[in-house]
Each structure stands twice: as structure tokens, then as C-alpha cells.
Amino acid sequence: MPSYWLMKSEPDECSIDDLARLPNQTVPWTGVRNYQARNFMRDAMRVGDGVLFYHSSCAQPGIAGLAEVASAPYPDPTQFDPASRYHDPKASPEAPRWWLVDVRLVRKTRLLCLKDMRERPELADLLVLKPANRLSITPVTPDQWRRVLTALESIA
């Protein structure tokens, strides 16, 4: 029984189209520096879990595609790289702080934009729509997942 997730990506960093151009259409989900979001990747995700690929911090925020968890968790290599903006001086390969998974594109969808999401009462319980939610990774229930897919079909 797979679980489901919503994962935010800034299109300036990695958009759904960028993901589609990557080898195997797979990206390591680097740069998460929030413990709750890390714990989801490190402790709860399984290969094959469904992912709603969400564009954030951009002109048109919203769900831009479907993806899936494509690896077991492993330490985020950027935490060890002094040149990286995600470098963490308190982390070491012996004691990593930050973990990630690879995420693989399933398919790009029509953009289900934030405004549309808010206008659909059946999506109102999505954590990402809760006031002041800033978590970059949020769990999605199987029922919510079905309702999002239905909403995506209706705009296709």
C-alpha cells in the first residue's frame, strides 16, 4: 500500500520541464533543511509512493505533474559541500543530518493552480492549502490523492 505526498519545488530551481529533461527523468530532492520534511523522506517514504509535484514561489503556484519516489533515503550530498548553498557545517559523512530521496517524473499535467485548488471544496483539506503552511513536503491521504487526480482530469 503506497503512501502519497505533495512536494514543493521552485521552478527556478527545478521545474516539471527541467525534471522531464533529466537523465531517467529523476532528480535527487536536495536542499530540504526542515526536520519534519526530512523525517518524511528518511522515515516514511517508500519507493513507488505517489508524489504531487508542486511549483512554489513563482508566478503560477500549483500542481504541475505527478511523480513517484524512486529511491531509498540517503544522505543529501550537498550538506557536505562547502561550495553549496545547502552546506551544513554541523553535518559530516559520519553523522549526516539531512536525508533525501530521488523523485522520478510520472507525467506532466495541466497546471492545477493554487487559485483553482482553493476554489474546489473537495480539496480544502489538503495540508498545503491550510493557512500559513510552509512545509515543503506534506503527506496526502489516498482519498485526497484520488480527489486531486479527479480534479486534474477535469482540467485536462
Partner DNA sequence: GCCAACGTTGGC
Residue 3 in contact with DNA, rule: CB under 7 A:
no
Site map (CB under 7 A) of DNA, residues 34-53, x = contact:
xxx-----------------
Contact residue for DNA among 11, 18, 33, 74 (CB under 7 A): 33
For residue 133, the tally of other CB atoms under 10 A from its CB is: 11
What's the closest the beta carbon of residue 34 comes to DNA, in angstroms?
Answer: 5
What's the closest the beta carbon of residue 42 comes to DNA, in angstroms?
Answer: 14
Residue 89 in contact with DNA, rule: CB under 7 A:
no
Contact residue for DNA among 24, 93, 131, 156 (CB under 7 A): 131
Q: Which residues of 28-58 are buried (b: 16+ CB within 10 A; e: fewer)?
A: bbbbbeeeebbebbbeebeeebbbbbbbbee
Q: Which residues of 75-107 are buried (b: 16+ CB within 10 A; e: fewer)?
A: bbebbbeeeeebebeebeeeebebbbbbbbbee
Using CB under 7 A, list all residues that contact DNA.
Answer: 8, 33-36, 56-58, 61, 114-115, 118, 131-132, 134-136
